[in-house]
Amino acid sequence: MCGIVGYVGSQQPNGRPLEVVLGGLRRLEYRGYDSAGVALTGTGDGKLAVTKKAGKLVNLIEALDLDPLPASTAAIGHTRWATHGGPTDVNAHPHVVGKVAVIHNGIVENFVALKAELLAAGTTFTSETDTEVVAHLLARAYDVHGDLTAALTAVVQRLQGTFTLLAVHADVPDVVVGARHDSPLVVGLGDGENFLGSDVSAFIAQTKDALELDQDQVVTITPTSVVVTDFAGGPAQGRRYTVDWDAAAAEKGGFRSFMDKEIHDQPKAVADTLLGRTDLAGHLVLDDLRIDESVLRSIDKIIVIACGTAAYAGHVAKYAIEHWCRIPVEVELAHEFRYRDPVVNEKTLVVAISQSGETMDTLMAVRHAREQGAKVLAIVNTHGSTIPRESDAVLYTHAGPEIAVASTKAFLAQITAAYLLGLYLAQLRGNKFPDEISAILDELRLMPAKIQLVLDRAGRVREIARWMADTTSVLFLGRHVGFPVAMEGALKLKELAYIHAEGFAAGELKHGPIALIEPGQPVFVIVPSPRGRDSLHSKVVSNIQEIRARGARTLVIAEDGDEAVRPFADEVFYVPQSPVLLAPLLTVVPLQLFACELATARGLDVDQPRNLAKSVTVE
């Protein structure tokens, strides 16, 4: 989704505005984009210097004259993920009208009506974007108000939809203005310079001092000031905080790709998510609980809403929370939940899971749930994002920034946080004795080391993935918690390697999917522990035999010591022993490695798969 950077700092070295903005855009590449552009003010000729190009940042950089970096006082930069109008040079941002340049993340839903009004007044449009409407409105408003903040405040009052907007004007080269409505924008505070960004990655190399803005606020930055107002022009305030990510955390750290790095970050992501979750009395605590505990004691249903990988984390959570808390748990894709008439009331706890905290489908479902009287608890990775702010309680995952589009470490951290939530509810509602909860927590604390062991054994799965680079279809089977792991394994392969892949509940095989099995068809099977419910293990072993008998090539993920699977497996990837409910933290890892390696072997960019955005901020 679009990335936004703004910078102002007139006393700084000449080329700093462009340098900072290009660095910010590079760190925001993970959001996914298809064109990029920058606008500079204070270049000495009283005009804006605007360059924009379709394609990757390298195209923009080639089009800029960087030797030497041009002198300027402020800059805005944008990576665009096309919504209205294709990814072309003309549709790329910034959009310029006269002396005004605008960049935008989101969708102006009433742009057709606004465009008609402007066309009727004789305005000529050059692009197909909704954003150009904003640029025209802003140029006109500036002529009326003679002040960029007042002009932007007047314009946002006319817009419907979702937006983060940044704007500059050639006549006020020391000013960048921004506004947000249902779309992210944060401020970075510097010394003689200030920053704006879609998230802190935009300016993390320059400052860790940040200001969180609320919805419907306008911000004006100059080299020495940051002024926040509301959409009516009245005074408002942001919340100052210190960013605890460092710039290195947003880099590849020596791995071939961000995804590879993030797969290897997983022991730490799980360990960090478990850290500091108990009070002095040893009781589990949540981060930000704005729900009365008596309400949590009285809930009679949990609905997990999420999208993609986060939804699969929710499916895993269902097994654990129902088992530990004896509360029914439904898991639903947020976009489906939002547009039906779900049975939700004040006794329903809705759990929204999101890495970015900005996924529009999930945000809309959160709002819908709260309108129906439900309490919403968010499990989110990104501080300062919208979903936790609009929820009644928050449990942050501590996976650190996830840059690769394909979610890996966030998935493990989401599962870990959901387990913590389940144990918290079991503690609160008295479903488990304290020593039972402690025993599960002890097992959870062993998981980072076990995940590391799986990573240490990555060689064989990578080797098999390279051999299979030309495969055209892979199936994934699992039962119980292995079922969502199978679906996640399939999703990883689809989104990274563009291969047909499907995950099935192994018990469903005989109801149709077994017809897909033909000689040589690769099938991953996630086998539950033989130390768990024995019938489950033997049922899956029977499923392996059934597909093997029909010629499938069986790639089995099993627990250390499980010799029963060997006779029916073409390949076994062993993972350390763990309690059945915790096993997804281990069994998904070989599938992530497999997808990453196979896609790399096919020459694909695993960090930015085609057609995908990291954070999907439109419905």
6 interacts with ligand M6R by CB under 6 A: no
18 interacts with ligand M6R by CB under 6 A: no
- 3-state secondary structure (DSSP) of residue 258: helix
Alpha helices in 331-433 (DSSP H): 334-338, 360-371, 386-389, 409-429
Give the Cα separation of 534 and 544 in Å (integer): 16
Contact criterion met (CB below 8 Å) for 141 and 118: no
The 342-381 site mask, x for binding ligand M6R (CB under 6 A), equals: ------------xxx--x--x-------------------
| Shortest distance, position 312 Cβ to ligand M6R, whole Å | 8
Give the Cα separation of 133 and 115 in Å (integer): 6
Helix axes 409-429 and 584-601, enclosed angle (nearest 10): 170
Q: Which is nearer to ligand M6R, 543 or 615 (CB)?
A: 615
198 interacts with ligand M6R by CB under 6 A: no
407 interacts with ligand M6R by CB under 6 A: yes
Give Cα 170 to chain centroid, integer Å: 35
CA atoms within 13 A on the CB side of 513: 19
501 interacts with ligand M6R by CB under 6 A: no
416 interacts with ligand M6R by CB under 6 A: no
The 588-617 site mask, x for binding ligand M6R (CB under 6 A), equals: ---------------------------xx-
Residue whose tokens read 């990655």: 201
83 interacts with ligand M6R by CB under 6 A: no
| Shortest distance, position 266 Cβ to ligand M6R, whole Å | 14
Contact criterion met (CB below 8 Å) for 465 and 594: yes
Q: Which is nearer to ligand M6R, 468 or 588 (CB)?
A: 588
The residue number whose beta carbon is nearest to ligand M6R equals 308
417 interacts with ligand M6R by CB under 6 A: no
308 interacts with ligand M6R by CB under 6 A: yes
CA atoms within 13 A on the CB side of 91: 17
Of the ranges 62-70, 196-204, 264-272, 401-409, which one interacts with ligand M6R (CB under 6 A)? Answer: 401-409
28 interacts with ligand M6R by CB under 6 A: no
| Shortest distance, position 133 Cβ to ligand M6R, whole Å | 28
| Shortest distance, position 404 Cβ to ligand M6R, whole Å | 8
Q: Which residues pair with 108 in a beta bridge?
A: 161
489 interacts with ligand M6R by CB under 6 A: no
Q: Which is nearer to ligand M6R, 380 or 461 (CB)?
A: 380
Sheet with 329-333, strands from edge to edge, namely 288-289, 393-396, 375-380, 348-354, 301-306, 329-333
Q: Which is nearer to ligand M6R, 413 or 547 (CB)?
A: 413
Q: Which is nearer to ligand M6R, 33 or 574 (CB)?
A: 33
Q: Which is nearer to ligand M6R, 101 or 403 (CB)?
A: 403
Helix axes 434-456 and 458-467, enclosed angle (nearest 10): 50
Site for ligand M6R (CB under 6 A): how many residues? 16
Number of H helices, E strands in the chain: 18, 25
Contact criterion met (CB below 8 Å) for 387 and 334: no
Q: Which is nearer to ligand M6R, 500 or 539 (CB)?
A: 500
Residue 325 is among the residues annotated as catalytic for this protein: no
217 interacts with ligand M6R by CB under 6 A: no
Give the Cα separation of 73 and 64 in Å (integer): 17
> 2, 307, 325, 596: which is the annotated catalytic residue?
2
CA atoms within 13 A on the CB side of 240: 6
> 52, 318, 450, 614: which is the annotated catalytic residue?
614
| Shortest distance, position 1 Cβ to ligand M6R, whole Å | 10
Contact criterion met (CB below 8 Å) for 398 and 287: no
CA 523, 529, 530, 533 torsion: positive or negative?
negative
Q: Which is nearer to ligand M6R, 172 or 485 (CB)?
A: 485
Q: Which is nearer to ligand M6R, 411 or 424 (CB)?
A: 411
**Could you give the angle at the alpha carbon of 408 between the alpha carbons of 407 and 412, nearest 5°?**
120
Question: C-alpha distances in angstroms, 304 versus 313, 328, 379?
Answer: 10, 11, 10
Residue 2 is among the residues annotated as catalytic for this protein: yes
Residue selected from 307, 458, 487, 501 as contacting ligand M6R according to rule CB under 6 A: 307
Indicate the residue type of 526: I
| Shortest distance, position 20 Cβ to ligand M6R, whole Å | 26
Residue selected from 310, 415, 558, 572 as contacting ligand M6R according to rule CB under 6 A: 310
Q: Of 374, 410, 417, 362, whose CA–CA distance to 395 is shortest?
A: 417
| Shortest distance, position 204 Cβ to ligand M6R, whole Å | 19
CA 200, 203, 205, 206 torsion: positive or negative?
negative
Sheet with 239-242, strands from edge to edge, namely 49-54, 35-41, 74-80, 3-8, 194-197, 186-189, 209-212, 239-242
Q: What is the number of other CB atoms lying within 10 angstroms of the CB of residue 328?
A: 12
| Shortest distance, position 387 Cβ to ligand M6R, whole Å | 8
Residue whose tokens read 């930055």: 221
- Interface of this chain with ligand M6R, residues 240 to 299, rule: CB under 6 A: none
Q: Which is nearer to ligand M6R, 73 or 354 (CB)?
A: 354
Residue selected from 405, 418, 426, 481 as contacting ligand M6R according to rule CB under 6 A: 405
CA 135, 136, 137, 138 torsion: positive or negative?
positive
Active site residues: 2, 614
Residues that bind ligand M6R (CB under 6 A): 307-310, 354-356, 359, 362, 405-407, 491, 495, 615-616
